[in-house]
Structure 1
Amino acid sequence: MNSAASPAEVASQTGAALVMIFAIALTGCTSNECTDSICGSNNDKGSIAAGEQTPAARVNTSYLADLIRKGPFSEPLPKPVKVTGMKDVLIADSSPRIDAVAVELDWPSEYDPFEGFDGPNGHIETYRAKADAAKRSESRYNTLRKQYKDFGEIQGTTKGFFIFANGEIIAGGTRGYVYVEVYSFTNANAYIPLATGTVNSMLKYADKMTALATDS
């Protein structure tokens, strides 16, 4: 049986992770092959002829929040990160979210920065309006940029970003009705693809749940 990749081996993926996080920031597309459902107008096949109208699909955001919470989380994560479950999480701010759920993450003990480390963490927040999710991401982006400016510049945009914080990597992103964030990833280049890749997987998971919560 193959053993999990070491942090040193993961380091070679850093450049690809940077490309991915900026792709998220610029287009919102997290697929290797751009599709109509993900990229919309970025794909000619998704265009609508002049004068043609289609009814706007309605997302039941309360149902979306319920689906996200119940799972199961089936999106592949960057190895060796894995999801072990979902649980309640308390977010100390006044954003008008419907729900917030912690995504319990884990990895092999050799990835721990110190003995007794309880693993990386993440959560998904669901909002009734896309604008509210976007505002939440913008607020976090600006807060983190100011709070950790002495540790380096934040990378990306409000749609997808990461920053070296005080002893950890924090990454986040938004699309549609959700904002996601991961934290407690070891503060080293080798862990950038793990943090940004986990954000990417969480956004894909939210995309699938949004499709299920959308009226046809």
Structure 2
Amino acid sequence: MARLSLLDVLGSKVRVYLSPPIQRLALAIAVHIIDKIEPKPCIYTDYEPFKIVLEPLANTYSCNHMVKCSSYIVLWCENVPDNILSSTLFVAGVPLKAPHRYGLTRLQAQQIDNNTFILKLRVAGQYLTTTVRVSGVELEELKAPPLETREAKLVEILRNALQEYGTLSQRDAVDIISAELGVKRGEARRLLLELVRKGVLVVEEGYIVGVKA
């Protein structure tokens, strides 16, 4: 039997909320779920760019215009009624204090670069993990292992920077990683320290002077 993909269970087998709520990823996941589900879920969102994309795919409403549907996708709404949340397949951008009350499972997202994300979902005590690339509103599952993909990208970024600048302070390296991967500085610092810990980088007197990989 083929291994069940994380993307296979989204919406159809596991109702999820996205954390953190990354808009371009959320839109691609919503489109992915709409394509798989029959009858189509109703969409609630107050975010106009989403409405433009989603209206041709499924019935799409403003958050204050609640109608009865068999299921829902809720994106960037406030004050959503409990009965709607209890039938929602996918939620993002909605302030929920206790999503489990509505039968929702956390879908963890880690951004690798502007288009690539690692998704993790706990199902029946086990984690399903996959790496996806967002292209427009398309969601593509990547075959490359996520850590190898990330590490190779980081090494390439730092090698190019060293060729240009000669040496890098750790602060400069963090800024470069943050800009190139589109991640926050805290995440960029964590990724850099992971490379240092693995011995991938040559560090002398606090400066990065080379790459071993």
Rg bigger for which structure? 2
Task: Select the structure with the greater relative contact order (CA < 8 A; seq sep ≥ 6).
Answer: 1
Q: Same fold (TM over 0.5)?
A: no
What is the TM-score with the length of structure 1 in the denominator?
Answer: 0.22
**Which structure shows the higher helix fraction?**
1
What is the TM-score with the length of structure 2 in the denominator?
Answer: 0.22
**Which structure shows the higher strand fraction?**
2
